[in-house]
Structure 1
Amino acid sequence: MTTATLSRPAAETPNQESVSLAPLQAVIFDWAGTLVDFGSLAPTQIFVEAFACFDITITLAQARGPMGLSKWDHIHQLLQEPAIGQQWQARFGRAPTREDVDAVYARFMPMQIAKVGEFSAPIDGAPQVLAWLRARGLKIGSCTGYPREVLAQLLPAAAAAGIAPDHVVAGDDLSAGGRPGPFMALANVLALGVGDVRACVKVDDTVPGIEEGRRAGMWCVGLTLSGNEVGYSPQEYAQAPADEVEARIARADVKLRQAGAHHVIRSVKDLASVLHTIAADMRAGRMPG
């Protein structure tokens, strides 16, 4: 798939450029599948490989299921799936325990740290969108299910490519926990000095990420094509039949709206027009709740 160079975020017209985004104050982004890593591939494949170290076979579709949770919680959720839990029972003679989650996580972490830099390429249009937001005075937050150790590898590579939010919260930063709770989103509100959670927009490609934003009282925008719910690699997307692509997008759209997304778009480069709509709704007295 070729990468287009954008002079402004897609779907914005010259007339929109002069329209204020007030009273919006901040946009809080997810990372994989939202700002970087088209298809959210980095964590997905590593889950498969980490479980294989224990002679447990999981599919990419199974690995994608709990995406958006912190990685420890993600592994815990996978081990609760009957098909995976039964494999564990057959292999080890007992149901999986918290210590087993720790063991899989311990295998997962070094593999993820080693691989995440390979998946740090920005999603088409993401650097331009961040620059566009800054030019309009909006603050840029972010949060992720990645642990801080993984972010230590991802952030420098992403920053070199133009992806550098004002604040980043990792999946293991907060004692209160991660998604689908509101804590990481609200930590961004505090760090950025945002005066009203209703003036924030959460942008995410996963169900737990949308639920996080709704629980934090924010506007929520779901992403389909670039993210986990559609799940194409760039190469797969380039070769996929158009009707298959549209079917996957439609299923993802429904799922993200059911999770509470106020708007659903294909990728971050389509964000500008949605932000104008949200800002206009707020000026008319409509709020995300």
Structure 2
Amino acid sequence: MKQVQAVIFDLAGTVVDFGSFAPTTIFVEAFRRGFDFDISLTEARVPMGLGKWDHIKAVGELPEVAARWLAQFNRPMTVADINIIYDTFMPLQIAKVEDHAELIPHTEQVMSQLRSQNIKIGACTGYPRAVLNALLPALKDNGFNPDYVVATDDLIVGGRPAPYMVLKNMIELGVDDVKTCVKVDDSAPGIMEGKNAGVWTVALLLSGNEAGMTLAEYQAADLATLAQARDIAQKAFSHSKPDYMIDTIADLPTVIREINEKLASGERPS
């Protein structure tokens, strides 16, 4: 009987860095340091889930950002400009990523439950390998130690929303059937990555980029505030159509049980 063989997690906003602040705040700083150009935290969040070079390019293509850039520099943003911002971003992100290495609540318990079911744990990320290598030791110390991890620049083929980081995880983890694999992510490109790989997809509504709350804000929020944040995130995921949408990783064990029941009855990911 088919059962879930592996769960592949995104990192920031999914298992670590509640609210996904490590990359977004550094994007704001990189634009400012590279060109004395201001973007908002909201603008920095829009393309979250893409590889970081592609993310910078996508921010620059936002109509409001492109208009301000044109007004400030009398020309559109160029590839050379993106390279400068990226080269500014990288050392800042490497230096500061450990400051955002606290696991999202219940991550350790969920990992333990998955391993008790002989489910393998993979991960992939929009971080480049240099940033990932700075983050992994802190994640391990804090209790998250996946069986395999792929960075966005580990493969010569495209990053998200292409399926290759998920498929590389499956190969290395020895998963022999895509429908026994689950992708968990807090961004629409990450969900599309899983959809394109043919695996089950689980979107996180409140711990990641779309809600954009700090852990303290989440814990202090009343039901109305959480409902509003949940609604915003659900709308952000509407086009990617995840199989499941849950608040945080704490809710994942229930989803795994439901997927196992569906697999037992012959169902596949949507």
After TM superposition, the score normalised by the length of structure 2 is 0.96
| 1:1-289 pair list within 5 angstroms | 22-53=2-33, 54-289=35-270
Deviation at 1:241, TM superposition (A): 4.4
Q: Deviations over 1:223-263 (max 9, x none)?
A: 01111110101233344443122111122123324312101
Q: Deviations over 1:154-186 (max 9, x none)?
A: 100010111011000001111101101101111
Amino acid paired to 1:28: I
Identity %: 48
Amino acid paired to 2:10: D
Question: 2-side partners of 1:249 and 1:165: how far apart?
Answer: 28
Amino acid paired to 1:265: I
Deviation at 1:267, TM superposition (A): 0.6
Amino acid paired to 1:229: E
Amino acid paired to 2:31: F
Q: For the structure 1 residues 88 and 255, does the alpha-carbon distance in structure 2 shift closer, same or farther, using more than 3 Å as the test?
A: closer
Amino acid paired to 1:110: P
The RMSD of aligned alpha carbons is 1.3
Q: Structure 1: where are the runs of 5+ without partners?
A: 1-19
Q: For the structure 1 residues 254 and 84, does the alpha-carbon distance in structure 2 shift closer, same or farther, using more than 3 Å as the test?
A: closer
Question: Contact conserved, 1:257 with 1:263, CA < 8 A, in 2?
Answer: no
Amino acid paired to 2:208: G
Q: For the structure 1 residues 93 and 257, does the alpha-carbon distance in structure 2 shift closer, same or farther, using more than 3 Å as the test?
A: closer
The 10-residue stretch of structure 1 (79-88 or 162-171) with the greater mean CA deviation from structure 2: 79-88
Question: 1-side partners of 2:181 and 2:56: how far apart?
Answer: 30
Matched position secondary structure for 1:164: coil
Amino acid paired to 1:104: I
After TM superposition, the score normalised by the length of structure 1 is 0.90
Question: 1-side partners of 2:259 and 2:169: how far apart?
Answer: 20
Question: 2-side partners of 1:274 and 1:37: how far apart?
Answer: 22
Matched position secondary structure for 1:198: helix
Deviation at 1:265, TM superposition (A): 0.5
Question: 1-side partners of 2:235 and 2:258: how far apart?
Answer: 20
Matched position secondary structure for 1:165: coil
* 4+ aligned runs moved over 4 Å, structure 1: none
Q: Deviations over 1:20-69 (max 9, x none)?
A: 9x521100000000010000010011111111121211111111100000
